Amino acid sequence: MSTAINHSSSIGLDLQTIVVLTVEGLDEFVARLRALGYEVMGPTLRDGAIVPGPVNSSKDLPRGVHDLQSPGSYRVMREDDGEIFGWAVGPGSWKNEYFPPSQVMWRSEIVGDTLVFRQPDRSHALLAIVGARPCDVAALRILDHVLEEGVHRDSRYSERRDSNFIAVVECASPADTCFCASMKSGPGIDEDFDVALTELNDELGHRFIARIGSPRGADVLSSVSTRPANELDLEARALLLETASRAMSRSLPFDEVANLLARNVEHPRWLDVAERCLSCGNCTSVCPTCFCSDVHDTTDTSGAIERRRTWSSCFDLEHSYLHGGSVHESSSSRYRQWMTHKLSTWWDQFDSTGCVGCGRCIVWCPVGIDITEEVAAIAAHDQARVAVPSRPGAS
Partner 1 sequence: MSSDRTLSMRPSSVAPRGNLNDLTPIVHRVVERIGETNDITTLVLEPLDAPSMTFRCGQFNMLSAFGVGEIAISMSSAPGEGTLRHSIRDVGAVSHALCQSRVGDLVGVRGPFGSDWLVESASVEADLDPRDTIVVAGGIGLAPLRGAVEELVRANERGGGRVFVLVGAREPSQIVFRADLDSWRARGAKVSLTVDLATPEWDGRVGLVTTLLADAGFDATNSRAMLCGPEVMMRFTARALVDLGMDPEGILVSLERNMQCGVGWCGHCQLGPFLLCRDGPVVPYAGLVSQLLTQRER
Bridge partners, residue 308, by sequence: 104, 296
Taking the complex as a whole, the smallest distance from the CB of residue 369 to partner 1 amounts, in Å, to 21
Interface positions, 253-272, toward partner 1 (CB under 8 A):
265-266
Interface positions, 21-80, toward partner 1 (CB under 8 A):
none
Interface positions, 298-337, toward partner 1 (CB under 8 A):
298-299, 303, 305, 307, 309, 312, 314, 319-324, 327-330, 333, 337
Residue 1 binds to partner 1 (criterion: CB under 8 A): no
**Single residue of 113, 121, 190, 191 touching partner 1 by CB under 8 A:** 113
Residue 97 binds to partner 1 (criterion: CB under 8 A): no
Residue 146 binds to partner 1 (criterion: CB under 8 A): yes
Taking the complex as a whole, the smallest distance from the CB of residue 23 to partner 1 amounts, in Å, to 41
Nearer to partner 1, 56 or 298 (CB): 298
Bridge partners, residue 129, by sequence: 41, 166
C-alpha distance from residue 121 to each of 2, 99, 212 (Å): 10, 15, 33
Taking the complex as a whole, the smallest distance from the CB of residue 116 to partner 1 amounts, in Å, to 4
Taking the complex as a whole, the smallest distance from the CB of residue 379 to partner 1 amounts, in Å, to 20
**Single residue of 38, 165, 208, 291 touching partner 1 by CB under 8 A:** 291
Residue 351 binds to partner 1 (criterion: CB under 8 A): no
Residue 121 binds to partner 1 (criterion: CB under 8 A): no
Q: Give the C-alpha separation, 392 to 390, whole Å.
A: 7
User: By rule CB under 8 A, what string of x and - marks binding of each residue 360-379 to partner 1?
Assistant: --------------------
Taking the complex as a whole, the smallest distance from the CB of residue 110 to partner 1 amounts, in Å, to 6
**Single residue of 15, 35, 68, 115 touching partner 1 by CB under 8 A:** 115
Residue 389 binds to partner 1 (criterion: CB under 8 A): no
CA–centroid distance for 85 within its chain:
16
Taking the complex as a whole, the smallest distance from the CB of residue 7 to partner 1 amounts, in Å, to 26
**Single residue of 202, 242, 348, 382 touching partner 1 by CB under 8 A:** 348
- Output the CA angle 206-212-187, nearest 5 degrees: 65
Nearer to partner 1, 113 or 275 (CB): 113
Q: What is the CA radius of gyration of the chain?
A: 23
Nearer to partner 1, 333 or 383 (CB): 333
Interface positions, 194-253, toward partner 1 (CB under 8 A):
none
Residue 105 binds to partner 1 (criterion: CB under 8 A): yes
CB 133 within 8 A of CB 171: yes
194, 134, 206, 145: which is closest to 167 by C-alpha? 194
Taking the complex as a whole, the smallest distance from the CB of residue 153 to partner 1 amounts, in Å, to 8
Nearer to partner 1, 32 or 334 (CB): 334
Nearer to partner 1, 77 or 265 (CB): 265
Residue 119 binds to partner 1 (criterion: CB under 8 A): yes
Q: Which residues bind partner 1 (CB under 8 A)?
A: 105-106, 108, 110-111, 113-117, 119, 146-147, 150-152, 154-155, 265-266, 291-299, 303, 305, 307, 309, 312, 314, 319-324, 327-330, 333, 337, 341, 345, 348-349, 391, 393-395
